[in-house]
């Protein structure tokens, strides 16, 4: 499936999005480790998060989808059992890394794998700490990538310093530590998204969270509680970008997750001159939530680097698109991790900027983009590199430059299956063929 987008005007309306992907994964994976019943509202029904639900069901978790809700009858980690079948996790890095932490502490053998893209992503970052805790996690092809064979069992707490800021690695260790003997300390120099810590606290876990260290003891009993999943911030960022770039626009996105470890994009957007307001700021199940009202904006280039990078990492394709229409130069630094996402995002972004005629420079740790250097053409042919965020980000270019085709966009179903419907709903000219 390809996206076709055309020049648009006056994006407007109110948008309500499905739940946040990171929080939906964590609800699917953590609630079965609790005791009691819980209902999850506004769960993201997309391929990645369904893979987390299916995997937990394979281990024996009692999970039912009732209308738009997900119902859990949780009986603790001891009720989860090995499965003779390998566990397939599709395109989802969050599923494979987080579940590997859980499986490491369950007695038995497990095999986990995913699609071609997932089997190319680095796993040494979880293999090493989980093995230090006493699990036996092995890359079957000996390349430090999935498929992984995991022999889970009795674990002990460890002290571990995160080499790269990664919420997935941090969460894999925390989930293993929940069922390990003794204390686990995780040192985190640059803070990555903290939804696992927040959800565990909400479910009654005792976690000490210092400035750059997390401590927890194993053997804690978690209590299942209902969860309302705020709307996905990363999906909202596509709407913010679309409205900012399209003339005469004014769009409200309701009840969006506004956890500060996720909202680096809003800070960068504001620094670029982006016009928006936050409304109805409040808390829901230990997460910050609010509505975002965004307007067409005149933008200028900025530098993003350092501690903001993990808080904006998934939105960098959108920063690149905004930068292409901003006055002056945008510099993206310290973002080597972009190479290890669903595609090598430094290369995928560069390929599509080239198709726009934009002047750019690839750097070891990011990109330099010279705004407003695009060439006016009859049509622009972008490629998604089978990466959902690249597909959606470059589709938005058509709202400004007209006649865009993005090839191979099926992977959008992994995170934002309603993308076309939502964009049409606010007056965006988008189609698929
Ligand atoms: C995620 C963490 C990030 C992010 C991914 C979702 C999570 O990955 O890019 O889309 O839900 O924990 P890393 O932990 O690899 O940085």
Please tell me if the CB atom of residue 20 comes closer than 6 angstroms to any atom of ligand 1: no
Q: What pLDDT shows up at residue 400? A: 98
Question: Is the Cα dihedral 134, 136, 142, 144 positive or negative?
Answer: negative
29 phi, psi to nearest 5 deg: -90, -30
Residue of the CA atom closest to atom 10 of ligand 1 = 314
Q: What pLDDT shows up at residue 23? A: 98
The residue to mutate among 27, 193, 307, 344, having the most atoms of ligand 1 within 8 angstroms of its beta carbon, is 193
Condensed to tens digits (0 to 9), the pLDDT of residues 174-216 reads 999 999 999 999 999 999 999 999 999 999 999 999 989 999 9
Closest by alpha carbon to 64, among 96, 34, 39? Answer: 39
Instruction: List the chain residues with pLDDT less than 50.
Output: none
The residue to mutate among 167, 200, 318, having the most atoms of ligand 1 within 8 angstroms of its beta carbon, is 167
Please tell me if the CB atom of residue 74 comes closer than 6 angstroms to any atom of ligand 1: no
User: Ligand 1 atom closest to Cα of 165?
Assistant: 16
168 CA to middle of ligand 1, Å?
A: 5
Q: Would residue 128 show up in a list of annotated catalytic residues for this protein?
A: no
105 phi, psi to nearest 5 deg: -105, 10
Question: Is the Cα dihedral 315, 316, 322, 327 positive or negative?
Answer: positive
Q: Is the peptide bond before 147 cis (omega within 30 degrees of 0)?
A: yes
Other CB atoms within 10 A of residue 241 CB: 27
Domains of the chain: residue spans and CATH: 3-19+230-432 (3.65.10.10), 21-228 (3.65.10.10)
372 CA to middle of ligand 1, Å?
A: 31
What burial letters (b/e) apply to 198-230, b meaning 16+ CB within 10 Å?
bbbebbebebeeeeeebbbbbebebebbebbbb
Please give the Cα distance from 243 to 249 (Å, whole number): 5
Cα-based angle 255, 297, 271 (whole degrees, multiple of 5): 80
Please tell me if the CB atom of residue 234 comes closer than 6 angstroms to any atom of ligand 1: no
Question: Is the Cα dihedral 372, 374, 377, 382 positive or negative?
Answer: negative
Q: What pLDDT shows up at residue 94? A: 98
Residue of the CA atom closest to atom 4 of ligand 1 = 314
The residue to mutate among 25, 30, 94, having the most atoms of ligand 1 within 8 angstroms of its beta carbon, is 94
* Candidates 2, 20, 232, 314; catalytic one: 314
Q: What pLDDT shows up at residue 368? A: 98
Please tell me if the CB atom of residue 415 comes closer than 6 angstroms to any atom of ligand 1: no
Give Cα separations from 279 to 243, 255, 282, 292, 361 (angstroms).
Answer: 17, 9, 9, 6, 38
Cβ atoms of residues 123 and 139 within 8 Å: yes
In 285-428, the DSSP E strands lie at 287-295, 303-304, 329-332, 359-363, 366-370, 380-383, 404-407
Other CB atoms within 10 A of residue 4 CB: 16
Cα 343 from chain centroid? 14
Please tell me if the CB atom of residue 18 comes closer than 6 angstroms to any atom of ligand 1: no
Please tell me if the CB atom of residue 95 comes closer than 6 angstroms to any atom of ligand 1: no
Please give the Cα distance from 408 to 2 (Å, whole number): 5
341 CA to middle of ligand 1, Å?
A: 9
With a threshold of 0.95, does the pTM exceed it?
yes
Please tell me if the CB atom of residue 22 comes closer than 6 angstroms to any atom of ligand 1: yes
């Amino acid at each position: 499936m390809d996206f076709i987008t055309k020049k648009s005007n006056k994006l407007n309306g109110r948008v309500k999005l499905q739940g946040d992907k990171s929080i939906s994964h964590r609800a699917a994976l953590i609630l079965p480790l609790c005791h009691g019943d819980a209902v999850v509202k506004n769960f993201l029904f997309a391929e990645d998060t369904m893979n987390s639900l299916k995997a937990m069901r394979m281990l024996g978790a009692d999970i039912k989808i009732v209308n738009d809700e997900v119902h859990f009858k949780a009986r603790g980690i001891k009720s989860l059992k090995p499965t003779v079948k390998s566990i397939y996790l599709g395109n989802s890095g969050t599923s494979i890394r987080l579940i590997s932490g859980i499986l490491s502490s369950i007695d038995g053998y497990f095999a986990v794998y995913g699609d071609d893209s997932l089997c190319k992503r680095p796993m040494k970052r979880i293999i090493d700490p989980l093995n230090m805790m006493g699990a036996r996690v092995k890359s079957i092809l000996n390349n430090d990538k999935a498929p992984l064979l995991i022999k889970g069992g009795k674990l002990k707490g460890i002290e571990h310093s995160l080499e790269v800021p990664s919420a997935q690695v941090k969460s894999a260790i925390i989930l293993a530590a929940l069922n390990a003997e003794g204390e686990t300390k995780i040192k985190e120099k640059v803070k990555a998204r903290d939804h696992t810590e927040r959800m565990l606290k909400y479910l009654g876990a005792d976690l000490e969270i210092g400035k750059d260290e997390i401590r927890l003891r194993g053997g804690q009993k978690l209590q299942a509680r209902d969860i309302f999943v705020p709307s996905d911030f990363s999906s909202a960022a596509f709407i913010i970008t679309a409205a900012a770039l399209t003339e005469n626009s004014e769009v409200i996105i309701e009840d969006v997750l506004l956890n500060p470890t996720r909202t680096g994009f809003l800070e960068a957007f504001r620094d670029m001159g982006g016009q928006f307001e936050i409304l109805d700021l409040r808390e829901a199940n230990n997460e910050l939530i609010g509505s975002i009202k965004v307007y067409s904006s005149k933008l200028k280039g900025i530098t993003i680097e350092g501690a903001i990078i993990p808080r904006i990492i998934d939105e960098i394709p959108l920063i690149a698109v905004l930068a292409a229409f901003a006055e002056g130069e945008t510099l993206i630094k310290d973002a080597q991790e972009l190479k290890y996402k669903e595609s090598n995002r430094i290369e995928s972004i560069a390929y599509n900027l080239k198709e726009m005629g934009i002047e750019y420079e690839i750097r070891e740790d990011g990109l330099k983009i010279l705004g407003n250097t695009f060439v006016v053409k009859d049509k622009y042919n972008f490629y998604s590199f089978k990466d959902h965020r690249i597909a959606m980000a470059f589709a938005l270019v058509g709202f400004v430059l007209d006649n865009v085709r993005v090839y191979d966009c099926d992977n959008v179903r992994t995170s934002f299956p309603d993308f076309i419907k939502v964009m049409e709903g606010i007056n965006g000219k988008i189609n698929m063929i």
